Amino acid sequence: MAERLDDTVALVTGASSGIGEATALELAGHGAKVALVARRGERLDDLAARISGTGGEALVIEADVTHEAAARDAVEQTVRQLGRLDTVVANAGMMLLGPIEGAPVDEWQRMVDVNILGLLYTSHAALPHLLTAASSGPRNVADLVLLSSVAGRVARNGSGVYNLTKHGVGAFGESLRQEVTRRHVRVSLVEPGAVATELAGHNRPEIQEGLRSRFSNMERMEAEDIADAIGYIVTRPRRVAVNELLIRPTEQEQ
Ligand code: NDP
């Protein structure tokens, strides 16, 4: 049975679009105050207005989580202004695909920076606050949800460095889970298949064309489907930890 998140505070990175935006709305709907973190401030302002329009409370934090100080400031600002931190969804990410041979290595740099370092910096800064939340009500449990991917489970030709980053998220998450689970910080890994968001749009045109034809015969998931799954994870009773959730479109084979 789902528990309410009233009197708790959540922080979502990559809240300006796609899964992060839908997740922020979902968590606000469960009663959490939500800190919205991303680089595109106007998008966050718009989302914050939608959340307050439905009676919720949101804090806009324009930040690039690939900078350690910025990720730390985002966490500290949340605790300063909203009072505590119970739930973190480390969602900000990029997917730049293509063969390894001849790849523009700046694409690798951008993915490693956000998918790995951004997630590490956010988790590291948040952890002391999550441990405090888990030991000092209102739910006596805290959640760190890490966005991996099917690409974190299965490697594909043409996806090597994205695979590397998402497999890394899985390994980090499992190690951290073992470290903190006895102190009631739950670390959960979410591994979506294809979701209709802006993610593919950052690729080179020929890569985007390949993705379009790969998914042309398939009904992809919506961001709200993943937000719903994250809502499920963080509203479980204290005794239940959903460690890992692999969630594909019904029509996606691999
Ligand atoms: P979107 O492109 O819609 O969202 C990505 C978000 O990350 C944006 O809000 C963007 O905001 C933010 N972001 C990117 N770089 C930074 C940065 N340096 N600092 C702060 N925020 C940043 O894609 P999705 O919603 O699809 O992706 C969300 C997560 O889900 C990613 O980790 C992705 O790998 C994962 N995922 C997605 C799947 C899909 O099919 N869509 C499948 C499996 C996993 P801004 O540009 O404003 O900074």
233: Cα within 13 Å, side-chain hemisphere: 29
Contact 2, 232 (CB under 8 A): yes
Q: What is the mean pLDDT of residues 68-93?
A: 98
Given the candidates 3.40.50.720, 3.40.50.300, 3.90.1280.20, 1.20.1440.230, the CATH classification of the domain at 9-246 is 3.40.50.720
Q: What per-residue confidence (pLDDT) applies to 254?
A: 87
Give the nearest ligand 1 atom to 151 CA.
43
Ligand 1 pocket residue status of 163, Cβ below 6 Å: no
- Asked if the bond preceding 138 is cis, omega within 30° of 0, the reply is yes
Q: What per-residue confidence (pLDDT) applies to 221?
A: 98
For residue range 109-134, list pLDDT tens digits in order.
999 999 999 999 999 999 999 999 99
For residue range 230-240, list pLDDT tens digits in order.
999 999 999 99
Ligand 1 pocket residue status of 195, Cβ below 6 Å: yes
pTM for the full model?
Answer: 0.99
Domain parsing of the chain, residue ranges: 9-246
Q: What is the mean pLDDT of residues 163-173?
A: 98
The SS3 call for residue 48 is helix
Q: What is the mean pLDDT of residues 184-190?
A: 98
Question: Looking only at Cα atoms, what is the longest distance across the chain?
Answer: 52
Catalytic residue flag (residue 121): no
Catalytic residue, chosen from 37, 61, 162, 172, is 162
- For residues 226 and 35, give the distance between their C-alpha atoms in angstroms, rounded to a whole number: 19
Please choose from 62, 89, 91, 110 the residue to mutate so as to test ligand 1's pocket, defined by most ligand atoms within 8 A of CB.
Answer: 91
Query: What's the Rg (C-alpha) of the chain?
Result: 17
Q: What is the DSSP letter of 44?
A: H
Edge-to-edge strand ranges of the sheet holding 142-147: 58-62, 33-38, 9-13, 87-90, 142-147, 185-192, 244-247
Ligand 1 pocket residue status of 13, Cβ below 6 Å: yes
Q: How confident is the model at residue 1 (pLDDT cuts 50, 70, 90)?
A: confident
- Distance between first and last Cα of the chain: 31
| pLDDT over 70, % of the chain | 100
206: Cα within 13 Å, side-chain hemisphere: 4
Nearest Cα residue to 218 out of 254, 189, 245: 254
Ligand 1 pocket residue status of 199, Cβ below 6 Å: yes
Q: What is the mean pLDDT of residues 245-250?
A: 98
Residues facing 62 on adjacent strands: 38
For residue range 8-54, list pLDDT tens digits in order.
999 999 999 999 999 999 999 999 999 999 999 999 999 999 999 99
